[in-house]
Amino acid sequence: MPEGPDRKPAPTPGPPDRAPAAASALTTLPNAITFVRLCAVPATVWLIIQGRFDLAFLLFLGAGLSDALDGWLARVLDARSSLGAVLDPVADKALLVSSYVALAATGVLPDWLAILVVFRDVLIVGGVVMLRMMGMPPRISPSRLSKANTALQILLVAVALLLRGWPGLLPGAFPLAVLVPLVAASTLLSGGAYVLAAARGEGRA
């Protein structure tokens, strides 16, 4: 039947609303745990600045356990999402970098080490952004050296907080004397490895 003069055409469907999907992704249990870990960053920094290294250690430890928990839940519940893939490393890096800056500001760790740790991450993020702007988005996959560097960085923060929070629990400053040069060396090597990999187009950090 032909359309009459007063008959209006059917409205064209607009683009899908992404807000409900984003809200749904954030409310999944793994992503909710990751978001809580991200919110723990300012609390950890504040506790370190206030000299409550004992509470900062417990919060840092809880954040580490939550990192393992949300990854396990994402696999078991099949709740992986693109939001979680971005939010999880952001929360981890924010906590780690902020802890180094706060520990350096309070004189617990050398300031040059905090600068080195921050510069490595800025170099990687800046390199990724620059390559994307040039139309050559890298496929980032952490190398074994990068994973070892991250593990050493986490261990150093935990040991530094433990030593200050509970003096006498570990043998003097010996652990820090060992870990500080190890973290510095692994940070330099992994940062250099990223630059070389990016230059070759491999995208391994």
| Assigned domain for 1 exists | no
Cα separation, 178 vs 158, whole angstroms: 14
Mean pLDDT taken over the chain: 81
Domain holding 92: CATH number? 1.20.120.1760
| Assigned domain for 124 exists | yes
- Residue-wise pLDDT tens digits, 132-144: 676 666 666 677 8
204 pairs with which residues across the strands? Answer: 141
Q: Is 28's pLDDT higher than 70?
A: yes
CA distances from 114 to 128, 129, 177 (A): 22, 23, 15
| Assigned domain for 182 exists | yes
Instruction: Report the pLDDT value the prediction gives residue 19, as an integer from 0 to 100.
Output: 46
Q: pLDDT band for position 101 (50/70/90)?
A: very high
Number of domains in the chain: 1
Q: Is 9's pLDDT higher than 60?
A: no
Residue 106 phi, psi (nearest 5) = -95, 5
Three-state secondary structure call for residue 188? helix
Cβ–Cβ < 8 Å for 34, 87: yes
Which domain, by its residues, includes 176?
28-200
| Assigned domain for 9 exists | no
Task: Count helices and strands (H / E) in the chain.
Answer: 7, 0
| Assigned domain for 7 exists | no
| Assigned domain for 59 exists | yes
Instruction: Report the pLDDT value the prediction gives residue 205, as an integer from 0 to 100.
Output: 55
| Assigned domain for 18 exists | no
The predicted model scores a pTM of: 0.78
- Residue-wise pLDDT tens digits, 108-139: 999 999 999 999 988 887 776 776 676 666 66
- Residue-wise pLDDT tens digits, 156-199: 999 999 999 988 777 767 889 999 999 999 999 988 888 787 66
- Residue-wise pLDDT tens digits, 30-82: 888 888 889 999 999 999 999 999 999 999 999 989 888 877 877 777 767 77
| Assigned domain for 53 exists | yes
